[in-house]
Chain A
């Protein structure tokens, strides 16, 4: 029998490669996300109870959440068309997100998500 579902998920988010400059110059953040979020990735907190179409919080939602609540400036340097801008790498628990399903990966309690910018060349 499944245990009681939690209503929120706490994860750790880190930024590297200059991205931290867009997020209050802070490299590491601890976030608490709702376990169930709107399918359209609307990031109103708390999630209105009238919302019927929900999905588990995933990386795509996390990106929208970061853009709407933590990003201080120049959103176009982080997010583009609902995903991270080309040149930004994402690691989920030290694994390339391409191997975890990219934006569809459902975040779990204690996950560590790292965003690394490679837009500063060689």
Chain B
């Protein structure tokens, strides 16, 4: 009898037979495995939670009728995860026609359970899982990426492949562009409230941490594309640009889904991408919102419309997604990496010098890029670590609830008292007493300490800062030692949903214009309320609290 355990790690001569039965790369096992994992993640989220008694783990089907309270929108980035998500949704809940010959599959088992031909007649009328027609929404970002090609038509073709001409089944395709975030026309099509006249030309001054709202004066961008370029080029760091683009896309998808009375917005974030987003998000101060990223998020729009943002691929690694796409012969349109630098004018109209500068700045790296490279390397050598990141974050919760309405820019949960927290943990001005005493050298892009930063419009009543989450405020105000921000004197335009949410006091004509901010010679500037903060000395503080000190506190 052999005494060998057969483990080749302990006995080099041992032969361990590969158990093909458990070989996940065998397609006969692979497809059902991934499908089941997908349905187990998405299934329990479909029904309205109030009526959900809990999901049957087998395939995620729920005992009884699966019926969502609204329609379905799938966010498509052109990337691998989105492509696989669309395929899984279509095959699991709708229909996927043959991509090559256009012939209908003879075997009706390949049709989704909700296909008109294959409607399950179990307990009562199954009907459609989601109301209305499902839709895929794609946001084109090529307008801000030098040299990028537009992929809208490729994504459209990928969606169209799921049409069934015999039954007339189709998935709607909604193409958007990143600049729609600054387009009143788009805002109206998704049912947004009319912008007040006074809000239309409002922007913010990102040189002031209070982010005061200002009129753009004579510098109003003429087109949404121009506004987008002004917005992104004004951001201080490459990380801020990446974060801003992600936020704009997210909110565009949300409002589009809301306009279709969607109850679910599905995103193709795989386990690997989720881990990347978590690490980079936490590094940028988005930890408060991160808790909800791993699980089902809920966004409440106008009229208390509730949209569940679900990432059904969160238990599927990027490797498994790639295998699914390859073996299913799915065309992946692809997506470009977000830029590290954006021209202040639309591509094609910039000067040669500006084009060169933008191209050179693409070499600057960002937290997202560093995190992606790190996680990819980690997955290669330590694959279980990637899932550990996601699972660890799922165990974390927040100490307090977010402010009502969330962050006005990214529409994510926002923690309360962000400004107070920042004030207590950082030196916020080069004129702070502690900084001056330390004699710390200034960053290389400053030859002398900048002005004390007292802006005439710096007022808690018309500043945007209190309405932002930590991450968005950092996006606008972080200072890179390289000083990439080039348009420091430009009033930054705001996305339409932010303008629409500004209080009616924004119509007040005393809101100053952007001119003459530096010199303060404008009459409005001189008359506006000025807030200034300064650090108290130890003696001053002790005078104020002396009555509360115990006798043995002692003097120093």
Contacts and interface: CB of A to CB of B under 8 A. Distances in A.
A99 B18 contact: yes
A120 B27 contact: no
Interface string A88-100: 0101001110010
B77 A118 contact: no
B25 interface: yes
A122 interface: yes
A110 interface: no
A86 B377 CA distance: 5
B334 A120 contact: yes
Interface string A44-87: 00000000000000000000000000000000000000000011
Contact of B322 (A95, A99, A116): A116
Interface in B334-353: 334-335
Given A16-B326, A120-B80, A122-B79, A86 B380 contact: yes
Given A18-B334, A86-B379, A94-B25, A122 B273 contact: yes
Decide if the interface of chain A is mainly helix, strand, loop or mixed.
loop
Instruction: Pick the most buried of B78, B80, B327: most chain A CB atoms within 10 A of its CB.
Output: B80
Instruction: Pick the most buried of B373, B377, B380: most chain A CB atoms within 10 A of its CB.
Output: B380
A89 B323 CA distance: 9
A39 B473 CA distance: 56
A25 to B, nearest CB: 13
Contacts of B82: 122
B367 interface: no
Instruction: Pick the most buried of A18, A87, A118, A119: most chain B CB atoms within 10 A of its CB.
Output: A118
A54 to B, nearest CB: 25
Given A96-B25, A116-B322, A122 B377 contact: no
Given A96-B25, A120-B79, A120-B332, A89 B313 contact: no
A97 B326 CA distance: 15
A116 B326 CA distance: 8
Interface stretch (B155-163, B262-270, B392-400): B262-270
B321 interface: yes
Nearest to B378: A86
A35 interface: no
Instruction: Pick the most buried of A91, A94, A96, A120: most chain B CB atoms within 10 A of its CB.
Output: A120
Interface string B345-388: 00000000000000000000000000001001101100000000
B322 A89 contact: yes
Instruction: Pick the most buried of A86, A87, A121: most chain B CB atoms within 10 A of its CB.
Output: A121
B335 A121 contact: yes
Contacts of A91: 323, 326
A49 B80 CA distance: 45
Contacts of A86: 373, 376-377, 379-380
B318 interface: yes
Given A16-B326, A17-B322, A122 B25 contact: no
A119 B335 CA distance: 9
B142 to A, nearest CB: 14
B334 A122 contact: no
A42 to B, nearest CB: 26
Contacts of A119: 376
Nearest to B333: A120
B332 A17 contact: yes
Interface in B470-505: none
B313 A122 contact: yes
Interface in A4-35: 16-18
Given A116-B322, A118-B322, A122-B77, A99 B377 contact: no
Sorted from nearest, which 9 A-B pairs have the closest CB atoms? A122-B81, A122-B273, A86-B376, A121-B79, A87-B376, A86-B380, A122-B269, A122-B268, A118-B318
11 contacts: A16-B326, A17-B322, A17-B334, A18-B334, A86-B373, A99-B25, A118-B272, A120-B80, A120-B334, A120-B335, A122-B270
Given A16-B326, A122-B267, A122-B318, 20 more contacts: A16-B325, A86-B376, A86-B379, A91-B323, A94-B27, A95-B25, A96-B323, A99-B23, A99-B25, A118-B318, A118-B319, A118-B321, A118-B322, A120-B79, A121-B81, A121-B273, A122-B77, A122-B79, A122-B82, A122-B270
